[in-house]
């Protein structure tokens, strides 16, 4: 199941401005309702960018034994100056370039989709944003996928995950890839996700047989 959060795709608009802790709120308040609404019984949470952070915060902060693993594409756990500079450049492209028109192909309200993300990240108070503590509480396997040329987050985000997680973390760093592995390197991304999920299923099947 693919889910466009409020303000994205064809979903209902989000209220602006977003609070600076919007990812934590969506992990704690919105995602649980979404999973219950679809009758979620067992599976893997896969998220990209903010969605990856929300998935990690959910797994680290909400006890939900239905979630068996995480796939985190381009996650971010803290701000970095290079990323903030790139986000500022994105604002210029939206206001004076063709980014608004390009986003309109995919979002019912490109203004809400862009401002909800960009305004929050460029708020001076967001510089102190850091949710890496959620990693300390992960108890399920995770796969992290990152483009080596990602302009919004360096490999420090992945190292933070590897160094702090108690549970197993697999990482795939893709060359010639920026912020969207599923769009820029779709085959490599799909192969990594499929292999991770298949291995997770084999492990769980073996555990059930042993028990």
Chain segment 47-94, per-residue pLDDT in tens: 999 999 999 999 999 999 999 999 999 999 999 999 999 999 999 999
Distance of CA 96 to the CA centre of its chain: 28
Q: For 9, which DSSP code?
A: T
Q: Which tokens is 21 given?
A: 């802790």
Residue 187 has pLDDT above 70, yes or no: yes
Strand order in the sheet with 169-174: 43-48, 67-73, 142-147, 169-174
pLDDT confidence of 209, banded at 50, 70, 90?
Answer: low
How far out from the chain centre does Cα 92 lie?
24
What pLDDT is stored for residue 211 in this prediction? 54
**pTM of the model as a whole:** 0.95
Q: What is the DSSP annotation of 57-118?
A: HHHHHS--TTEEEEEEES--SB--HHHHHHHHHHHHHHHHSSHHHHHHTT-S-HHHHHHHHH
In this prediction, residue 204 carries a pLDDT of 83
Percent over 70 (pLDDT), the chain = 98
What is the per-residue pLDDT for 135? Answer: 98
The architecture in CATH of the region 22-210 reads 3-Layer(aba) Sandwich (3.40)
Q: 210 pLDDT exceeds 70?
A: no
Q: Which residues contact 136 (CB under 8 A, 6 or more apart)?
A: 60, 164, 165, 166
């Amino acid at each position: 199941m693919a889910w466009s959060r409020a303000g994205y795709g064809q979903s209902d608009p989000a209220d602006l401005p977003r609070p600076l802790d919007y990812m934590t709120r969506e992990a704690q308040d919105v995602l649980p309702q979404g999973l219950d609404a679809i009758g979620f019984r067992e599976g893997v949470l896969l998220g990209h960018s903010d969605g990856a952070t929300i998935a990690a915060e959910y797994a680290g902060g909400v006890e939900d034994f239905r979630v068996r693993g995480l796939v985190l594409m381009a996650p971010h756990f803290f701000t970095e100056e290079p990323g903030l500079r790139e986000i500022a450049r994105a604002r210029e492209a939206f206001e004076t370039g063709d980014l608004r028109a390009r986003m309109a192909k995919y979002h019912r309200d490109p203004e809400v989709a862009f401002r909800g993300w960009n305004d929050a990240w460029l708020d001076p108070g967001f510089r102190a944003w850091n949710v890496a503590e959620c990693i300390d509480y992960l108890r399920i396997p995770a796969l992290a996928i990152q483009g080596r040329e990602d302009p919004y987050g360096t490999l420090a985000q992945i190292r933070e995950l590897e160094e702090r997680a108690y549970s197993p973390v697999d990482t795939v760093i893709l060359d010639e890839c920026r912020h969207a592995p599923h769009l820029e390197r779709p085959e490599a991304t799909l192969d990594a996700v499929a292999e991770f999920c298949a291995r997770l299923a084999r492990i769980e099947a073996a555990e059930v047989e042993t028990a």
